[in-house]
């Protein structure tokens, strides 16, 4: 886990991801598995991570909450899930408004 954290701090996101994914594949009873799932979720929301992927982050946070409901990381994971879900809702709303705007513009033209 420490190696993954050091790699992430240094911008070595692919290496950190590989290590954390390996830890997340450990048996459910592994002591650091919940921490690995949380770290993976956080890794995929980092703005300077070229592989940033909010859907993947959401999947890791969901998995953490589902598999380790008593984990100390669950409150933060839930907050991240809410934030990411709100982001996706805003994107959908923006797309809907763009469609309406395009339709209104089309109707104005002869």
Question: Does residue 10 sit in helix, strand or coil?
Answer: coil
pTM for the complete prediction?
A: 0.84
The residue among 110 and 89 whose pLDDT is bigger is: 89
- The answer to whether residues 71 and 34 touch, using CB atoms and an 8 Å cutoff, is yes
Q: What is the CATH number of the domain that holds 101?
A: 1.25.40.10
What gap in Å lies between CA 89 and CA 87, rounded to an integer? 5
Q: Which two tokens stand for residue 81?
A: 């899930």
> What domain range is 78 assigned to?
2-108
d(CA 39, CA 60): 9
- Could you report the per-residue pLDDT of 75-91, keeping only the tens digit for each? 999 999 999 999 999 99
Asked whether the predicted pLDDT for residue 27 surpasses 90, the reply is no
Domain tally for the chain?
Answer: 1
């Amino acid at each position: 886990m420490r190696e993954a954290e050091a790699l992430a701090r240094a911008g070595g996101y692919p290496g950190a991801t590989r290590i954390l994914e390996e830890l997340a594949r450990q048996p459910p009873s592994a002591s650091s598995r919940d921490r690995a799932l949380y770290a993976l979720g956080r890794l995929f929301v980092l703005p300077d991570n070229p592989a940033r992927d909010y859907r993947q982050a959401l999947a890791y946070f969901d998995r953490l909450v589902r598999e380790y409901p008593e984990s100390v990381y669950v409150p933060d994971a839930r907050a991240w899930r809410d934030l990411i879900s709100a982001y996706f809702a805003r994107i959908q709303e923006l797309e809907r408004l763009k469609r309406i705007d395009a339709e209104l513009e089309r109707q104005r033209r002869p």
